[in-house]
Amino acid sequence: METKKNCIAEIIHHIATILGFFIAGYYFLQKRTKTFCKVLLSVHMVTQGYGILKIIGDTIDGKKRFMASFEHVSEVCNEKEGAGRVLPWLLLSAATVFKLGVPVLLGGRKK
């Protein structure tokens, strides 16, 4: 069952993945970024790049892996009334903060 809320969650997740890749790339190319932070940013870029490849693959194949995961989390939490609605969105917000926050925290540091 594909609802409007699930589609919105999927779009938010995909945009965060793409932005996370480009933000990490931006800070990676800055000369003032420390070497250790560049290594961590490159690892972040690789993982987000893999996510982008999965998004492209899902688009080509017509699969909805994100929807399946989102609905699975909702089903697992259905035993409790509030958790079934809140937990998937809480996980989505945590993933978005991680995808966008890590590159900013690593790249925003001064030498």
The label of the residue with tokens 């958790």 reads: 83
Q: Which amino acid is at 85?
A: R
Q: pLDDT tens, 55-102?
A: 999 889 887 777 777 777 777 776 666 666 777 788 889 999 999 999
Residue 111 is predicted with a pLDDT of 53
Annotate 43-72 with b (16+ C-beta within 10 A) or e (fewer). ebbebbeebbeebeebeeeeeeebbeebbe
pLDDT surpasses 50 at 1: no
Q: Kindly compute the dihedral angle of the four CA atoms of residues 101, 105, 107, 111, in this order, to the nearest 10 degrees.
A: 180
- Per-domain residue ranges for the chain? 4-107
pLDDT surpasses 80 at 8: yes
Residue 64 is predicted with a pLDDT of 78
Predicted TM-score (pTM) of the model is 0.82
Q: pLDDT tens, 26-63?
A: 999 988 888 899 999 999 999 999 999 999 998 898 87
Q: Which amino acid is at 86?
A: V
Which has the closest alpha carbon to 5: 60, 62, 73, 56? 73
CA atoms within 13 A on the CB side of 27: 30
